[in-house]
C-alpha cells in the first residue's frame, strides 16, 4: 500500500481584484504518494502556480480559499501526523510546514537568493531556524548538502555570494536550501525554464537522484512537455482552474483523451517535425472573472458538442489511473479520435520506445 | 546567390579593467542568404546575443568585418550606411514585457521608425501603414490606440514583430523572441514569423536555446560555444551528422516528449576544460560545402572516425 502524503479535495480559490472576483481554482482534487512525482502542466493563467502556493500557504493577500481540504500527512519522530493545511494559521504554517516539511524551488535562481548573504549562511539559515541546530553542525551539514547537489569545492563555496556563481550553480544552491530541512515534499515551480538545455538536463537528473536517495515526493510545475516526460510518474493537465485530464505519464503521452491535451501535444515541435505549420489551439483561455457555463474549453474546442456549452463534464474514469473531464468520454458521445497527425506522432514515439 | 549578410572574423571584447577583458565573441564567421533563417544556438554566456547585438551595432565590434547588402557596416560608417542599417535591419527582443514603452500607444510604438526616417507623406499614410502591419501580425485596427499593458504576452510579442516589420527590413534579428512565451503561444508566433517570411522574403537571424524550435524554423544552424562558432551547417547536417562533441552533447540534452525514451536516456556531458580542446587552435574544416567544423586536423580525424 502506497503511503499518501498529500491529498487535495475540491479546492477552490478566488482572488479579489479591482474588476471583481476571479475564480482562479475551481475545484480540483489530486493525490501525491510517497516517493512519487506529479507534474502539473498548463498554460500560464491556468492556475498551476496558485495551486502550489495554496499548499505552501503563500497566496497573495487578495486571495482566499473558498472551500476544500489539503490533507498533509507527515512523520514526526515515528508519530504520524495528519493536518489540513487550509485550517492552519499563517503562523503555524511558517513554524511547522513551510521550508521544514514542504520546500519549494522557484523559477528564477537570480531572484530567489539573497544577494547580501553568503551561500553558506543561506543554506544554514533554515536548519538553525527550524531545528535549532548549532552553527557548527549546520555548517557541516551545509557542506554535505552542497556536495550532494554537485558543487565542487564546497568548503570554499560556502563563503561565496550568489553573484559569483553561474545560473546553473545558483539553481543547485536553491535546491540545497530546499533540501536542508529534510522536507517530505519538494515543489519545483518551473525550475529549469531560465536555464539552458545542457544545464537543464543536469538539474533534472540531480532532482531525480536526490528524490531516489531521500524518498521524497516531488510536485513539478512546468509547461515543457519534454521535461514532464523525463521526470514525472503522474501528470495533471490544468485548464482554466480545473484539472481536465490526469493519469500516469504513459497514459497521458501515448493515449491522451482530452482535446486540450491533444492540442498541447500537437503544438510542440518535436525534433522530427517536418510539417509546414505548427498546430495552434485557436482562441484564448476564458476570462475567469465571469462564471464559465459548461466546459471552459468548449469555445476553443473543435469537437465541442451542445452539452459542452450547458453543463460541466464530470471526471470520467477511462481505465487505470486515467481520468478525463470531457463529454467526449461519455458512453453516449459520438466516437471521436485524436487528430491524424498526432496519432502518427504517437505511433512513431511508441516505435522509438521499443 | 549573394549573401545578404557576411560576418568575417567578428570579435567583440568587453574591457573589464586594464588587465582583463571578456572575450564574448572571439572570431566568428558566417553568412546569411536572402529569405533564409539562420539559427544561432548555444548555452548562456556563449555569445549568441552579443553576436546579434554587434551585428546590428548596438555594440562597437572590436574587430572583424560585417557586410550587409554590399555595404560595410563595421568600423566607421557613412551617414548613408547608417540609414540603410537602421531601416533594413531590425530586431525583435526577448522580453515582450520590457521592450515596449509603457507610456506610448501601440500606434506610436510601431510608427516610431517611420517617424524617425520620415517614411510617410501625411498622417493618413502613417496610420494606414500601421493598420496594415497590425493586420499582418494578427491584431486588429482597434488595438492601435491601446497601451502595451492591455495586451497578453503573445500579443505583445506580435507588436514587437509589427514594429520590426513596418520598416520593410531585409534582415530581422530575433533574439530569443519566443523563449518567454507559453508553448501554445510559441507555436502561434513561430507560424506567424514563417508566414511573414514566405510573403516578404525577409531573412531571419534566429537566436535561441530551444533546439527543437530552432530545428523547426531554421534552414541553417550555427552552434556557438564560449565565443567560438564550433560548428555550422544546414539543419539536416547538424541534426543527423553532428561532428563536434559540444554539438553532440547539446543535441543529446533536448528533452523529447516521449516518456519511455526519456526515462533512461543518458545525456552526454561535455566540459571544455577537461576535453583538452583549445578553440583558438582550431581551423575551419570543411565537411561539405555548407558544413563547417572548428577543429585541428587531428581532432577532426578523431571525431569523424
pLDDT category at A247 given cuts 50, 70, 90 is very high
Lowest mean pLDDT among A34-43, A80-89, A273-282, B152-161: A273-282
Q: What's the pLDDT at B267?
A: 78
Residue A262 and residue A284: Cα distance in Å, rounded? 16
Residue B279 and residue B232: Cα distance in Å, rounded? 15
Contacts of A210 by beta carbon, 8 Å cutoff, 6+ apart = A148, A149, A175, A179, A216
**Chain B contact set for A268 (CB, 8 A):** 183, 187, 212, 257
Residue A118 and residue A186: Cα distance in Å, rounded? 23
Reading phi first (left if > 0) and then psi (alpha if -120 to 50, else beta), residue A48 is in alpha
Lowest mean pLDDT among A41-50, A310-319, B154-163: A41-50
Give exposure, A286-317, as e/b (b: 16+ Cβ within 10 Å). Answer: bebeeebebbbbbbbbebbbebbeeebbebbe
Nearest partner of A28 among A221, A238, A232, judged by Cα: A238
Span B32-54, average pLDDT: 89
* Least CB–CB distance from B257: residue in A202, A253, A277: A253
Neighbours of B148 (CB within 10 A): 20
Span B69-94, average pLDDT: 88
Calculate what percentage of chain A has a pLDDT beyond 90: 35
Torsions phi, psi for A249 (to 5 deg)? -55, -45
Residue B150 and residue B156: Cα distance in Å, rounded? 9
Residue A153 and residue A166: Cα distance in Å, rounded? 15
- pLDDT by residue (tens digit) across B4-26? 999 999 999 988 888 888 888 98
Q: What's the pLDDT at A40?
A: 94
Contacts of B18 by beta carbon, 8 Å cutoff, 6+ apart = none
pLDDT category at B33 given cuts 50, 70, 90 is very high
CB B284 within 8 A of CB B294: yes
What's the grid cell of residue B42? 548555444
Q: What's the pLDDT at B104?
A: 93
Torsions phi, psi for B58 (to 5 deg)? -80, -25
**Chain B contact set for A347 (CB, 8 A):** none
* Least CB–CB distance from B212: residue in A228, A250, A269: A269
Torsions phi, psi for A253 (to 5 deg)? -80, -35
- B228 has which bridge partners? B225
* Least CB–CB distance from B184: residue in A253, A264, A270: A264
Q: Return residues 277-306 of A near B (CB < 8 Å).
A: 277-281, 284
Q: What's the pLDDT at B10?
A: 92
- pLDDT by residue (tens digit) across A227-244? 898 899 999 999 989 999
CB A34 within 8 A of CB A2: yes
* Optimal mutation site among B149, B256, B259, B275, interface A, most CBs of chain A within 10 A: B259
pLDDT category at B95 given cuts 50, 70, 90 is confident
**Chain B contact set for A224 (CB, 8 A):** 183, 255
Neighbours of B101 (CB within 10 A): 11
Span A64-77, average pLDDT: 89
B268: nearest CA in chain A? A198
- A220 has which bridge partners? A39, A188
What's the grid cell of residue A128? 538553525
CB contact under 8 A, B256 and A270: yes
Torsions phi, psi for A99 (to 5 deg)? 80, -30
CB B27 within 8 A of CB B225: no
| DSSP 3-state of B218 | coil
What's the grid cell of residue B108? 506610436
Using alpha carbons only, what angle is made at residue A208 by residues A204 and A211, rounded to the nearest 5 degrees?
A: 140
Q: Where are the alpha helices (DSSP H) in A164-224?
A: 167-179, 197-214
CA distance B272 to chain A (A): 13
- pLDDT by residue (tens digit) across A291-337? 888 888 888 888 888 888 888 899 999 888 899 999 988 888 888 88
Residue A225 and residue B183: Cα distance in Å, rounded? 9
- B205 has which bridge partners? B38, B173
Span B199-213, average pLDDT: 88
**Chain A contact set for B157 (CB, 8 A):** none
Count how many pairs of residues, chain A against chain B, have C-beta atoms within 8 Å.
124
Q: What's the pLDDT at B260?
A: 84
pLDDT of residue A1 exceeding 70: no
What's the grid cell of residue A53? 502556493
CA distance B232 to chain A (A): 18
CB contact under 8 A, B257 and A202: no
Q: What is the DSSP string of A133-148?
A: --HHHHHHHHHHHHHH
Q: Which CA distances in Å does A97 have to A107, A145, A297, B115?
A: 21, 21, 35, 58
CB B77 within 8 A of CB B85: yes
Residue B217 and residue B36: Cα distance in Å, rounded? 10
Q: What's the pLDDT at A276?
A: 65
B270: nearest CA in chain A? A198
Q: Where are the alpha helices (DSSP H) in B76-227?
A: 79-88, 106-117, 123-136, 153-165, 183-200, 211-217
Is A262 near chain B, with CB under 8 Å? no
Q: What's the pLDDT at B160?
A: 92
Please provide the average confidence, as pLDDT, over all residues in chain B.
88
> Domain coordinates of chain A in residue numbers?
4-232, 255-353
What's the grid cell of residue B77? 560608417
Residue A38 and residue A187: Cα distance in Å, rounded? 10
pLDDT of residue A11 exceeding 60: yes
A271: nearest CA in chain B? B212
Q: Where are the alpha helices (DSSP H) in chain A?
A: 48-56, 90-92, 109-112, 119-131, 135-148, 154-157, 167-179, 197-214, 225-231, 249-254, 259-266, 306-310, 340-353
CB A141 within 8 A of CB A223: no
**Chain B contact set for A201 (CB, 8 A):** 253, 255, 267
Delineate the domains of chain B, giving CATH numbers in brackets: 5-303 (3.40.50.300)
Give exposure, A153-167, as e/b (b: 16+ Cβ within 10 Å). Answer: ebeebbebebeebeb
CB contact under 8 A, A268 and B187: yes
pLDDT category at A274 given cuts 50, 70, 90 is low
* Optimal mutation site among B262, B268, B274, interface A, most CBs of chain A within 10 A: B262
- pLDDT by residue (tens digit) across A334-351? 888 888 888 888 888 888
- pLDDT by residue (tens digit) across B227-274? 999 999 999 999 999 999 999 888 888 887 888 887 777 778 888 877
Span B147-167, average pLDDT: 89
Residue B248: which H helix or E strand, with range?
A: helix B245-252
> Which class is A4-232 in CATH?
alpha beta
pLDDT of residue A273 exceeding 60: no
pLDDT category at A275 given cuts 50, 70, 90 is low
Residue A252 and residue A268: Cα distance in Å, rounded? 15
pLDDT category at A70 given cuts 50, 70, 90 is very high
- Identify the sign of the CA torsion A204, A205, A207, A208: positive
- pLDDT by residue (tens digit) across B106-143? 999 999 999 999 999 999 999 999 999 998 888 888 88
> How far from chain centre, in Å, is Cα B233?
15
CB A212 within 8 A of CB A288: no
Amino acid at each position: 500500500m502506497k503511503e499518501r502524503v498529500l491529498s487535495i479535495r475540491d479546492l477552490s480559490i478566488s482572488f479579489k481584484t479591482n474588476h471583481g472576483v476571479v475564480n482562479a481554482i475551481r475545484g480540483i482534487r489530486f493525490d501525491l504518494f510517497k516517493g512519487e512525482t506529479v507534474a502539473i502542466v498548463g498554460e500560464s493563467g491556468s492556475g498551476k502556480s496558485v495551486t502550489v502556493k495554496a499548499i505552501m500557504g503563500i497566496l497573495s493577500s487578495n486571495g482566499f480559499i473558498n472551500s476544500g481540504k489539503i490533507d498533509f500527512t507527515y512523520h514526526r519522530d515515528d508519530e504520524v501526523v495528519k493536518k489540513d493545511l487550509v485550517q492552519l494559521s499563517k503562523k503555524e504554517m511558517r513554524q511547522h510546514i513551510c521550508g521544514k516539511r514542504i520546500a519549494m524551488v522557484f523559477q528564477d535562481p537570480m531572484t530567489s537568493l539573497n544577494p547580501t548573504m553568503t551561500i553558506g549562511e543561506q543554506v544554514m539559515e533554515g536548519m538553525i531556524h527550524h531545528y535549532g541546530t548549532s552553527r557548527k553542525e549546520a555548517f557541516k551539514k551545509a557542506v554535505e548538502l552542497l556536495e550532494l547537489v554537485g558543487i565542487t569545492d564546497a568548503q570554499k563555496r560556502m563563503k561565496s555570494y550568489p553573484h559569483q556563481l553561474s545560473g546553473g550553480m545558483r539553481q543547485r544552491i536553491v535546491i540545497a536550501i530546499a533540501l536542508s530541512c529534510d522536507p517530505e515534499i519538494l515543489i519545483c515551480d518551473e525550475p529549469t525554464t531560465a536555464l539552458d538545455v545542457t544545464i537543464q538536463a543536469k538539474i533534472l537528473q540531480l532532482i531525480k537522484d536526490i528524490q531516489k536517495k531521500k524518498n521524497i515526493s516531488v510536485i513539478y510545475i512546468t509547461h515543457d512537455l519534454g521535461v514532464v516526460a523525463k521526470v514525472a510518474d503522474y501528470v495533471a493537465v490544468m485548464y482554466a482552474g480545473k484539472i481536465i485530464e490526469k493519469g500516469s505519464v504513459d497514459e497521458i503521452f501515448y493515449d491522451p483523451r482530452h482535446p486540450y491535451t491533444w492540442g498541447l501535444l500537437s503544438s510542440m515541435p518535436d525534433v522530427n517535425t517536418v510539417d509546414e505549420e505548427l498546430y495552434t489551439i485557436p482562441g484564448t483561455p476564458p476570462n475567469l472573472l465571469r462564471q464559465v457555463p459548461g466546459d471552459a474549453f468548449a469555445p476553443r474546442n473543435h469537437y465541442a458538442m451542445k452539452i459542452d456549452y450547458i453543463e460541466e463534464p464530470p471526471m470520467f474514469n477511462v481505465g487505470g489511473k486515467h481520468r478525463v473531464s470531457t463529454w467526449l468520454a461519455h458512453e453516449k458521445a459520438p466516437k471521436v479520435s485524436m487528430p491524424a497527425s498526432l496519432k502518427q506522432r504517437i505511433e512513431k514515439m511508441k516505435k522509438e520506445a521499443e | 546567390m549573394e549573401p545578404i549578410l557576411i560576418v568575417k572574423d567578428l570579435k567583440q571584447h568587453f574591457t573589464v579593467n586594464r588587465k582583463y577583458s571578456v572575450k564574448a565573441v572571439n572570431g566568428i564567421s558566417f553568412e546569411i542568404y536572402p529569405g533564409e533563417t539562420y539559427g544561432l544556438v548555444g548555452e548562456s554566456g556563449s555569445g549568441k546575443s552579443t553576436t546579434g547585438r554587434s551585428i546590428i551595432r548596438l555594440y562597437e565590434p572590436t574587430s572583424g568585418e560585417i557586410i550587409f547588402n554590399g555595404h560595410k557596416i563595421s568600423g566607421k560608417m557613412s551617414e548613408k550606411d547608417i540609414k540603410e542599417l537602421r531601416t533594413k535591419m531590425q530586431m525583435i527582443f526577448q522580453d515582450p514585457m520590457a521592450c515596449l514603452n509603457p507610456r506610448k500607444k501601440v500606434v506610436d510604438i510601431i510608427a516610431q521608425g517611420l517617424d524617425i526616417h520620415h517614411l510617410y507623406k501625411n498622417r493618413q499614410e502613417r496610420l494606414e501603414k500601421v493598420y496594415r502591419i497590425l493586420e499582418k501580425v494578427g491584431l486588429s485596427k482597434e488595438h492601435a490606440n491601446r497601451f502595451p499593458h492591455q495586451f497578453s504576452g503573445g500579443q505583445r510579442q506580435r507588436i514587437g514583430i509589427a514594429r520590426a516589420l513596418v520598416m520593410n527590413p531585409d534582415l530581422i534579428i530575433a533574439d530569443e523572441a519566443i523563449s518567454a512565451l507559453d508553448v501554445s503561444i510559441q507555436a502561434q508566433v513561430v507560424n506567424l514569423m514563417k508566414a511573414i517570411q514566405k510573403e516578404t522574403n525577409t531573412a531571419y537571424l534566429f537566436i535561441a536555446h530551444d533546439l527543437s524550435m530552432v530545428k523547426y524554423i531554421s534552414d541553417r544552424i550555427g552552434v556557438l560555444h564560449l565565443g567560438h562558432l564550433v560548428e555550422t551547417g544546414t539543419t539536416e547536417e547538424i541534426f543527423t551528422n553532428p561532428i563536434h562533441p559540444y554539438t553532440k552533447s547539446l543535441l543529446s540534452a533536448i528533452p523529447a516528449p516521449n516518456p519511455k525514451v526519456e526515462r533512461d536516456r543518458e545525456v552526454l556531458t561535455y566540459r571544455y576544460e577537461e576535453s583538452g580542446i583549445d578553440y583558438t587552435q582550431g581551423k575551419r574544416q570543411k565537411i561539405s560545402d555548407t558544413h563547417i567544423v572548428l577543429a585541428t586536423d587531428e581532432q577532426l580525424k578523431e571525431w569523424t572516425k
